[in-house]
């Protein structure tokens, strides 16, 4: 049997940071302590005016492939909703910038916070079907370009970032199974309305969605793998906000020691949040052979979860 594994993860954060003191300066009426209590976020990374999603993606990939000089990249999946181009596909621009082979499979996936899970499913399918041996998933977004400084729902949460993940062929399968889902009836819970330049979020809708769907989705995955919460070593959820993660943990009865949060440091980095959390967690919290469940959920509405049998990464 041919399987897949995660071989490496690297991420890039823009140089400019916005902490809660600066947020308060721009919005003197906001109750920053209360916002922090709910979001758990203290820092957001803001791309500069001339820094695009493609630039962030390129930097994260360069950091990663430096560690794998002999690996031939067979596919490149860019997960983004903030490409500077509507046409062409931004992954094609990355192929040219990075001088990847012209035989590469390169395309974008337009998904938000569930995007890494979906891309992982596509990547493992390429490998399982012997179309590829090694490929990159790069999750990159610059939502802050679409969020004004006084957007109370979104500004305290979203952060710009890119995370590149190398997926490789493996004798033992380390990724999967998956549970994926979609409910377009909630499309307006988080949207960039047509003709507008400002992201709009209905926080209550997003919360009730996350509270209802994620525990159910994870429970179905646990059933599929004939396991229980106490048999899983670590749960890495999309870093939406502390309030949402706490509620998911409460509903699934996951003890705190089995969850990971890096929200305070990096904010909600959309699809990059899971690979960034995996990279940070593997420094201390995730060990070799650990069973890790990852789950992404958000804009769409779209969600997905997967089991990863962890193997040390570069």
Partner 1 sequence: MMKKFISTEDIYKIIAKILKTTPAKIIKTDKLNLIETWDSLAQLDILSALDAKLGNQLSNLNDIASITSVKKLIRIFKKKSLIK
Q: Which residues are catalytic?
A: 113, 238, 268
**Alpha carbon distance 77, 11 (integer Å):** 15
CA end-to-end distance (rounded Å), the chain: 24
Q: How far is the CB of 179 from partner 1 (least distance, A)?
A: 16
Going from the C-alpha of 111 to that of each of 18, 46, 78, the distances in angstroms are 25, 20, 10
Pick 182 or 202: Cβ nearer partner 1: 202
**Alpha carbon distance 238, 222 (integer Å):** 18
Pick 136 or 157: Cβ nearer partner 1: 157
Pick 188 or 197: Cβ nearer partner 1: 188
Q: Which residue is listed with tokens 């791309």?
A: 47
Q: Which of 190, 207, 303 is nearest to 251 (CA)?
A: 207
Q: How far is the CB of 98 from partner 1 (least distance, A)?
A: 42
Tokens standing for residue 10: 């690297």
Q: How far is the CB of 248 from partner 1 (least distance, A)?
A: 11
Residues at the interface with partner 1 (CB under 8 A): 34-35, 38, 152-153, 186, 202-205, 207-209, 211-212, 215-216, 243, 247, 250-251
Q: Which residue is listed with tokens 């395309």?
A: 107
Cβ of 147: how many Cβ atoms within 10 Å?
A: 23
Pick 23 or 90: Cβ nearer partner 1: 23
Q: How far is the CB of 213 from partner 1 (least distance, A)?
A: 9
* Phi (first) and psi of residue 40, to 5 degrees: 75, 10
Q: How far is the CB of 190 from partner 1 (least distance, A)?
A: 13
Q: What is the per-residue burial (b if ≥16 Cβ within 10 Å, else e) of 14-40? A: beebbebeebeeebeebebeebbebbb
Pick 29 or 283: Cβ nearer partner 1: 29
**Alpha carbon distance 233, 304 (integer Å):** 19
Pick 30 or 68: Cβ nearer partner 1: 30
**Alpha carbon distance 183, 145 (integer Å):** 26
Q: How far is the CB of 128 from partner 1 (least distance, A)?
A: 34
**Alpha carbon distance 39, 95 (integer Å):** 36
């Amino acid at each position: 049997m041919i399987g897949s594994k995660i071989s490496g993860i690297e991420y890039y954060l823009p140089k400019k940071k916005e902490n809660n003191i600066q947020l308060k300066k721009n919005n003197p009426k906001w109750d920053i302590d209360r916002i922090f209590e709910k979001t758990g976020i203290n820092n957001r990374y803001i791309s500069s005016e001339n820094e695009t999603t493609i630039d962030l993606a390129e930097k994260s990939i360069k950091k990663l492939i430096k560690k794998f000089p002999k690996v031939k990249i067979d596919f490149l999946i860019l997960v983004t909703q903030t490409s500077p181009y509507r046409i062409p596909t931004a992954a094609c621009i990355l192929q040219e910038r990075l001088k990847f082979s012209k035989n590469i499979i390169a395309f974008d996936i337009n998904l938000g916070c569930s995007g890494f899970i979906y891309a992982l499913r596509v990547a493992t399918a390429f490998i399982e079907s012997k179309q590829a041996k090694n490929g990159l998933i790069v999750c990159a977004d610059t939502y802050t370009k679409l969020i004004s400084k006084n957007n109370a729902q979104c500004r305290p949460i979203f952060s710009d970032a890119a995370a590149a993940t190398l997926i490789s062929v493996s004798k033992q399968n380390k990724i999967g199974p998956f549970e994926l889902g979609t409910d377009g009836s909630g499309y307006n819970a988080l949207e960039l309305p047509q003709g507008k330049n400002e992201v709009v979020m209905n926080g209550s809708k997003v919360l009730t969605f996350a509270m209802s769907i994620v525990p159910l989705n994870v429970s179905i995955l646990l059933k599929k793998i004939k396991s229980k919460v106490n048999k899983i070593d670590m749960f890495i959820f999309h870093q939406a906000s502390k309030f949402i993660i706490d509620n998911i943990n409460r509903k699934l009865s996951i003890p705190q020691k089995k969850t990971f949060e890096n929200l305070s440091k990096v904010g909600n980095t959309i699809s990059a949040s899971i690979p960034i959390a995996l990279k940070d967690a593997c420094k201390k919290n995730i060990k070799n052979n650990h069973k890790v469940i990852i789950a992404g959920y958000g804009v769409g509405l779209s969600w997905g979860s997967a089991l990863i049998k962890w193997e040390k990464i570069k």
